[in-house]
Amino acid sequence: MKVLLAEDSRTNQILISAYIEEAGHQIVIAENGQQAIDLFLEVQPDLVLMDIIMPVMDGIDAATQIRKISIREDEWTPIIFLSGISDANDIVRAIDAGGDDYLIKPVDAVVLNAKLRAMERIANMREELKKANRELRMMSMRDGLTGIANRRHFDEVLSKEIKRAMRLKSALSLVLCDIDFFKPYNDNYGHQSGDDCLKYVARTMAKTLNRPGDVVARYGGEEFGIVLPETELDGAISLADATRDAIDTLGLTHDYSAAANHITISAGVATVNPSKTDDVKIVAKSLIQAADKALYVAKERGRNQVSAEQE
């Protein structure tokens, strides 16, 4: 564990530090309440030992600020108060300020070690919970079949990137892709083959993206969406055509397609340059409609091709 000790007494710093280091934990020392806040933000400790009476800012005020930071960042770091006074009112004030426990100075090594073990268990459980929450978050963002982003995450990314395009005054492009004649493929080869086809196509699309900010998502059924931040129309068309070519090269047999004897896709591309005064939802709707219109044109022209619309 990383332990932040806020204590202005040099003697207590040395004594408590020795106890903490002997227990195998890291120690960072602050000499006043304001320094404790600054170090809390810098080192992100697993536990705070906070003296109540300190110069510049006392422990009560410092703990109040640290607790506000913890709540804002969706974290909970245990705070144990230290004081040479065992007054009941001080204990109440400390707990009300966000403290989780209270130790009377001089600190007893056995008692402190017991508290450290308890807090270490809490820290470990917190890490496990954070890990589980991250995994749940990832699951909520991913399409269960293909493993790429789902429609919900697509909507979130598109909204976020529109806002960023407004700030940067940059272009944002969207590609909507559709597997050509997927229904007859699914009907004739079976749902398992249809699922495998969707996986191959999704994986291939993801491989064609070469920037971390580009996102491919399963838009719905056999349709996919690709969000391309800071990308002009020509660049988006080029990537869409590279994606179409990559799917074409897979050579997945499709004897029931009128476009080719293998799996192909059609793609519609649209680009927008939103201004700061635009409404995000309206821009998103307009961009999707433009890409969908372009996709319809690609299908009308025979499929296995890319069409584009400039918003």
**Residue ranges per domain, the chain?**
2-139, 151-310
CATH homologous superfamily of 2-139: Response regulator (3.40.50.2300)
| Radius of gyration, CA atoms only, the chain | 29
The pLDDT of residue 92 is 85
Fold of 151-310: Alpha-Beta Plaits (3.30.70)
Q: What is the pLDDT of residues 182-200, one digit of tens each?
A: 999 999 999 999 999 999 9
Q: What is the pLDDT of residues 11-43, one digit of tens each?
A: 999 999 999 999 899 999 999 999 999 999 999
Q: 256: which 2 tokens? A: 């029931």
Closest C-alpha among 215, 217, 182, 184 to residue 197: 182
Report how far apart, in Å, the C-alpha atoms of 172 and of each of 73, 281, 284, 293 are: 30, 14, 10, 17
The arithmetic mean of pLDDT across residues 163-177, rounded, is 96
Q: 8: which 2 tokens? A: 């202005």
Q: 73: which 2 tokens? A: 């960042």
The arithmetic mean of pLDDT across residues 70-74, rounded, is 67
Cβ 185 vs Cβ 196: under 8 Å: no
**What pTM value is reported for the model?**
0.64
Phi, psi of 255 (to 5 degrees): -80, -5
Label the pairing between strands 47-51 and 2-6.
parallel
Cα separation, 176 vs 226, whole angstroms:
6
Closest C-alpha among 283, 284, 274, 291 to residue 236: 291
Phi, psi of 143 (to 5 degrees): -75, 130
